[in-house]
Chains A and B, each alone.
Chain A
Amino acid sequence: MLTGTDERKRVLLAVGSFLLPLFVWCLVSYVPFIWHPKVEVTVPGGIDYFQVGMLVDKPQFDDEVAYAREQNLALPAGKPANPIYLPAPHEVAQAFYTGFTKMPVQKDAPWLHESLWHSIQIIFWGFLISSIIGVPLGILAGTYASFGRLTEPFIEFFRYLPAPAFGALAVAVLGIYDGPKIAIIVIGTLFQQVLIVANTTRKLEVTIVEAARTLGTRGVKLLTKVVVPGILPDLYRDQRILLGWAWTYLIVAELIGTSSGITFYITQQARYQNFDNVYAAIMIIGIIGFGTDLILARFGRRLFPWDRSQDRR
């Protein structure tokens, strides 16, 4: 049992685990003498190719200053800066905000939330299709030993085939739009799902099934009234973990056929060197993933009040 102070300490540490990396990021971004390998030119001086706002490597800048001094030219000036691919926290925060509020600079470019919504739909359908096939298959394989032996070796083999390798095939079969993307997520998730669910099913206490049998439970009812409710809390946890895996396949999946969704947004923004937007987009994936997991975990506690293993978390 956690006491009040333990609980407060735990929350504090959890917040700290986020603040710590943010603090490091701030240090690197805002303290001029930490890292900052570049110089941002503020006064071009006599160096003809320097422009205001230009990023130059520090040694090169020093060389040019020495050269200008030697030639008695106007001295250039600059301030330490980080490379363009490392925007400061406030820039990313700004991009995060403008991503939802300001028209994209490029014509036809999707809004951040449009890209995101598209990605969420892909994940939803991919995970749903995978679960509709994978969960029952896993439960059957875990319950009936012979069914497990018939299916699992092949699934075990198939799960080593990298899902992205099926990209070209998926495009050939399902076209270039959302079909192949959903297929990649299904291929990436399904086979792991069957094995994990089968394993969870096998871990169900044998005594519980035997008790049900001595009470007169037989056949399908043993599955629907005992096995399924018995594994439900663990199955729910498995699904949460698998949903995380589905997100990792998303980025690869969205590059297949016509690039779309959050991946298209990220590659597009990276091409125009809007790295603040890139970071904002990557982070929002994290926020959505982590957020849904937190909500699902809380929801699970409501759903399964008898589940003891949750008390320990």
Chain B
Amino acid sequence: MNDQNLPSYLDQSEAVRARFDRINQRETILEVRGLGKRYRSPQGETEALRGIDFSVRRREFVCVIGPSGCGKSTLIRILAGLEDHTSGDVLLDGKPVTGPGQDRGMVFQGYSLFPWLTVKKNVMFGPQMNGRSHDEAERDARTWLELVGLDKFADAYPHQLSGGMRQRVAIARALVNQPRILLMDEPFGALDAQTRSKMQSHLIDIWKNIDVTVLFITHDLDEAIYLADRILVLKAHPGEVQEVIEVSVPRPRSPGQFNSSEFRATKARLEELIHPAPEPLPEDEQAVKPHMIRFTDVHDNVE
């Protein structure tokens, strides 16, 4: 690849610029201001997040990306209300977030489905918790299962489904509550490559057809570029926003765009941000120095 000839990742075509103008005119759903998180650990006080500022517009698709230890999981857990923050504000529709609520749906990386409930009952769980009747909940569940293509598996238990199918159920279960924003914490991280790309296309389809805003955490650069309108790049120790990138790859997106110049330019920029010049390894890694000994016949070469 001749990366010298790539355009700047900041260059946007007319259509893309017009799209961002439209997005920026929409109302803000989620606003994060000066968010910080410190916690005490055996090694002393650690600062996980510092001064995070960003906002998400209605029906925008935002990805959060960063090296491991940058606090991206902590960030999404704070947004979901599963963890407290120590400074700053999280505003959803202008109201501060205190604890979890049905206005924010969450899809976890691990299998978070209730194993004792069938697929349909898993999806019915949210509505029933929020006071809907059994029949209403069941009707809604059927609709959403159809949307993720699992209506045939309504009466199966989660353990009978494949990993991709389970995450589809998890998405349906989060969306049935009609949240203002869907928070996704590396939801496809445990899936194989093929299933993952299928799930990505499927997620875009869902997002296109439903009034939902998505905040998506990933460590996969391709996934972030493929899905996102904007990418929030975090850096580690402490977790801070390094850059917010407006993805210049035009929509509608398709896997064919992975080789387009915009895609590669954006990816090059992300790589620059996330994998800068190699830093010295941490001490415990340095201690591991394999000392290779030849155990086979000297002439028996494999390379």
Contact = CB atoms under 8 A, between A and B. Distances in A.
B80 interface: yes
Interface in B157-182: 157-159, 170, 173-174, 177
Contacts of B80: 210, 214
Contact of A308 (B110, B126, B159, B177): B159
Nearest to B126: A215
B102 to A, nearest CB: 4
Contacts of A307: 115
A232 B105 CA distance: 27
A128 interface: no
B114 A208 contact: yes
B129 A210 contact: no
Given A216-B129, A225-B129, A306-B159, A210 B82 contact: yes
B101 interface: yes
Contact of A217 (B81, B113, B129, B158): B129
A212 B125 contact: yes
Contacts of B81: 213-214
Contacts of B106: 210-211, 214
Interface string B120-138: 0000011001100000000
A230 B104 contact: no
B129 A221 contact: yes
Contacts of A230: 114-116
A215 B116 contact: no
A216 to B, nearest CB: 4
Interface residues of B, number: 31
Interface residues of A, number: 22
A215 B108 contact: no
Nearest to B179: A214
Contact of A216 (B102, B108, B114): B102
A286 interface: no
Contact of B158 (A214, A226, A232, A306): A306
A242 B81 CA distance: 39
A261 to B, nearest CB: 38
B108 A207 contact: yes
Most B-side CB within 10 Å, residue of A221, A304, A305? A305
A226 B111 CA distance: 15
Contact of B105 (A212, A214, A221, A308): A214
A216 B101 contact: yes
Nearest to A210: B82
B178 to A, nearest CB: 12
Given A208-B112, A208-B114, A230-B114, A213 B82 contact: yes
A37 B114 CA distance: 64
A104 interface: no
A217 B101 CA distance: 8
B115 A306 contact: yes
Contacts of B170: 211
B18 to A, nearest CB: 35
Nearest to A311: B159
Contact of B112 (A211, A304, A308): A211
A212 B129 CA distance: 9
B177 to A, nearest CB: 6
A133 to B, nearest CB: 25
B67 interface: no
Contacts of B111: 207
A289 interface: no
Nearest to B170: A211
Nearest to B160: A306
A113 to B, nearest CB: 40
Given A214-B183, A215-B174, 5 more contacts: A207-B111, A208-B112, A210-B108, A214-B81, A216-B100
5 contacts: A210-B112, A213-B82, A214-B105, A217-B129, A232-B116
Interface of A: 205, 207-208, 210-217, 221, 225-226, 229-230, 232, 304-308
Sorted nearest first, the 3 A-B pairs with minimum C-beta distance are A216-B102, A211-B112, A215-B126
Interface of B: 80-82, 99-102, 104-106, 108, 110-117, 125-126, 129-130, 157-159, 170, 173-174, 177, 183
